[in-house]
Amino acid sequence: MAARLIDGKARAAALRAAVAERVAAFPGRKPGLAVVLVGEDPASSVYVRSKNRACAEAGMRGFEHRLPDTVAQADLLALVDRLNADPEVDGILVQLPLPKHIDANKVITRIDPDKDVDGFHPVNAGRLATGLPGFVPCTPFGCLMLIRDVRERLAGLEAVVVGRSNIVGKPMAQLLIAESCTVTVAHSRTRDLGLHLARADVVVAAVGVPKLIRGDQLKAGATVIDVGINRTDVGLVGDVDFDSALPVAGAITPVPGGVGPMTIACLLRNTLVSAGRREGVEIDE
Ligand code: NDP
């Protein structure tokens, strides 16, 4: 039997609509998201444009700051300082990657952790690891929502996260630990990926290698979340070989149309939550 297709596009649209409803009812000023783009990287420009559009559609204020790729690190840090102090700004996002002469860690750690809606600040990573309220990175947060939609109970499940980046793999593992899954994190030095995949009830692939994971490596009925976005000659493909995984998995995300749309929806949700915390407005977190 073919796997259930997890429709991230529809789920993201529902989340965005729910956020827009809360924004419309938000008392006083509207929640605001500042997006900083350094340079002209075409992929980053596309992401920033879609984030701004999504902001406007949700009724939020978007503040776009475009800086040349020659900008001095001190000037970028000064902009972050101004945004930290701006009462109209609830969320700050600095689009990565940054030009080589800028220390991305310095910029990320300069953002007020309570406006860090990307959840990349070490304070928010620490909060996630210790179970304190903070901001969870948008992509793994979106993945968890999709997993919850198809698995009634997560406690006790075997979960394998492939990839250990700070923005996807590690926070994903933390979220699944918090859900009481038994979590294995695999990476490029893992000796036998297949061994781990064979017992996984939940697989999250965040690698960046096209079709790395094949259907014959999966456990029957597994929930498969494919974060990978790989541009190939045949178009966008994920880290999972979709065609061979479909008859084996219980549920699977397509690429595109799976995890991707959830990321921006979660960013809007995080910005709304930030505004709620700052203004003392209760938001269902
Ligand atoms: P990184 O390059 O930062 O991390 C990739 C991880 O995969 C590393 O931990 C690496 O291991 C591991 N890895 C590499 N090769 C293998 C292998 N052969 N077997 C097992 N593990 C391997 O990537 P990101 O986490 O930033 O992104 C991963 C993918 O997700 C990319 O395709 C990216 O485009 C996509 N993405 C999608 C988003 C969305 O919104 N849908 C958002 C963010 C990312 P090691 O640590 O040992 O090097």
Whether 241 and 223 have beta carbons less than 8 Å apart is answered as no
Same domain, 142 and 254: yes
Q: Which CATH number belongs to the domain containing residue 39 in this structure?
A: 3.40.50.10860
189 lines ligand 1 (CB under 6 A): yes
Tokens 């529809």 correspond to 10
Same domain, 207 and 241: yes
- Residue whose CB lies within 8 A of the most ligand 1 atoms, among 139, 146, 165, for a mutation test: 165
- Kindly give the number of the ligand 1 atom that is closest to the alpha carbon of 190: 20
Say how many Å lie between the CA of residue 204 and the centre of ligand 1: 11
Structural domain count of the chain: 2
Residue ranges for the binding site for NADP(+)? 163-165, 229
207 lines ligand 1 (CB under 6 A): yes
Examine residue 79 and state whether it is found in any structural domain, yes or no.
Answer: yes
Same domain, 157 and 252: yes
Q: What is the pTM of this model?
A: 0.97
Q: What is the pLDDT of residues 184-202, one digit of tens each?
A: 999 999 999 999 999 999 9
Beta bridge partners of 32: 61
- Half-sphere exposure of 208 toward its Cβ, with a 13 Å CA cutoff? 7
DSSP E strands in the chain: the ranges are 4-5, 32-38, 61-67, 91-94, 158-162, 182-186, 202-205, 223-226, 230-232, 235-237, 251-252
- Strands laid side by side in the 182-186 sheet: 4-5, 251-252, 223-226, 202-205, 158-162, 182-186
225 lines ligand 1 (CB under 6 A): no
187 lines ligand 1 (CB under 6 A): yes
- Residue whose CB lies within 8 A of the most ligand 1 atoms, among 50, 188, 267, for a mutation test: 188
How far apart CA 143 and CA 204 sit, in angstroms, is 8
Whether 19 and 58 have beta carbons less than 8 Å apart is answered as yes
Examine residue 61 and state whether it is found in any structural domain, yes or no.
Answer: yes
Q: Going residue by residue through the chain (285 aa), what tens digit of pLDDT does each one get?
A: 799 999 999 999 999 999 999 999 999 999 999 999 999 999 999 999 999 999 999 999 999 999 999 999 999 999 999 999 999 999 999 999 999 999 999 999 999 999 999 999 999 999 999 999 999 999 999 999 999 999 999 999 999 999 999 999 999 999 999 999 999 999 999 999 999 999 999 999 999 999 999 999 999 999 999 999 999 999 999 999 999 999 999 999 999 999 999 999 999 999 999 999 999 998 886
Please, which residues have CB within 8 angstroms of residue 129's CB and are 6 or more apart in sequence? 174
Same domain, 145 and 249: yes
Q: Which CATH number belongs to the domain containing residue 189 in this structure?
A: 3.40.50.720
